[in-house]
Amino acid sequence: MTRRHIWMFKYERELESEQRFPLHLDPQRERQEQHTRLVLAERFPYTNHNMADHADTTHATKHTEYSPVNVERTTPPTGSGTINRPFRSPLVVFTAILVPITFLPYLLIRRQLTRLTNTVTELRALTMNIRHDQKANVSETVRSLGSQVTQSLARVKSQTEDAVARISALEKQKRDTCHSLQDVGTSLADIAAFIHEVEVRQGYPMEKGGRGVERIRNVALRLKEWPPKAGQD
């Protein structure tokens, strides 16, 4: 079935329904019907006579004013130079204008939100990487500082032990020196006593100072009291 037959079938059905249930159409509806009939007449001019014959034989007794012959002869109003266009609802026009205007900001905002979401995701991943790197660096720094502190403590401990050993050696040397000096002082005291005894036995004249015996005794006394106490020379 071609498009021409489909159009004819639809038109016949509409014509039958109008003839069965005639309606009092308003002027706007009548103009729409006239426009439809003119379009059919212009699109299928070679079928007008067949449609007229079919309408006359089928509906000869019912409402002849709706026959295709009358449709073919119907002309647009003389006052208008153009054919009236189909009526369009203001709601449809308003919706067709409003929908793009409404959805355009939504699409722009959605695009910006998508970009912001991607940026936040990238920043979050970057932050996690930075935290991981910082944690690794801190751990490495702590381990390095701990190793350095351990080495420093070991070095200080070794130096302290060496210093203590040297001090102990010096103190021992000091004590040994003191003992040696005390022994020397005792020996000098014995020498001074021996000289004095010889002088007395031999009858040597006593000189002033006793030939240095008193000096020897003083030195021996100082050596025996070594080290000197605080406040003494």
- The last residue of one of the domains, among 71, 87, 103, is 87
Helix/strand/coil percentages in the chain, nearest 5: 80, 0, 20
CA distance 108 to 100: 12
| Residue 231 counted as domain residue | no
CB-CB contact of 51 with 8 (8 Å)? yes
Q: 148-175: b or e for each residue (b if 16 or more CB lie within 10 Å)?
A: eeeeeeeeeeeeeeeeeeeeeeeeeeee
| Residue 162 counted as domain residue | no
Query: For residue 50, what pLDDT is reported?
Result: 46
| Residue 7 counted as domain residue | yes
| Residue 69 counted as domain residue | yes
- The last residue of one of the domains, among 87, 105, 139, is 87
Query: For residue 42, what pLDDT is reported?
Result: 67
Which tokens hold the place of 183?
């022994």
CA distance 158 to 163: 9
Query: For residue 54, what pLDDT is reported?
Result: 44
Characterise 228 by phi-psi region: left (phi > 0), alpha (psi -120 to 50), beta (else).
Answer: beta
- How far the first Cα of the chain sits from its last, in Å, is 146
What is the model's pTM?
0.37
- The last residue of one of the domains, among 87, 121, 150, is 87
| Residue 156 counted as domain residue | no
CB-CB contact of 209 with 215 (8 Å)? yes
Which tokens hold the place of 17?
């329904």
Query: For residue 137, what pLDDT is reported?
Result: 92
Residue 67: count other Cβ atoms within 10 Å of its Cβ: 21
| Residue 103 counted as domain residue | no
Q: What is the pLDDT of residues 91-109, one digit of tens each?
A: 777 788 887 888 888 888 9
Query: For residue 211, what pLDDT is reported?
Result: 59
| Residue 74 counted as domain residue | yes
- Number of domain units in the chain: 2
Q: What is the pLDDT of residues 121-149, one digit of tens each?
A: 999 999 999 999 999 999 999 999 999 99
Residues of the chain with confidence (pLDDT) below 50: 21, 23-25, 46-85, 233
Domain that holds residue 184: 172-224
DSSP, residue by residue, 49-79? HHHHHHHHHHSTTS-GGGSHHHHHH----TT
| Residue 102 counted as domain residue | no
Query: For residue 193, what pLDDT is reported?
Result: 85
CA distance 193 to 107: 125
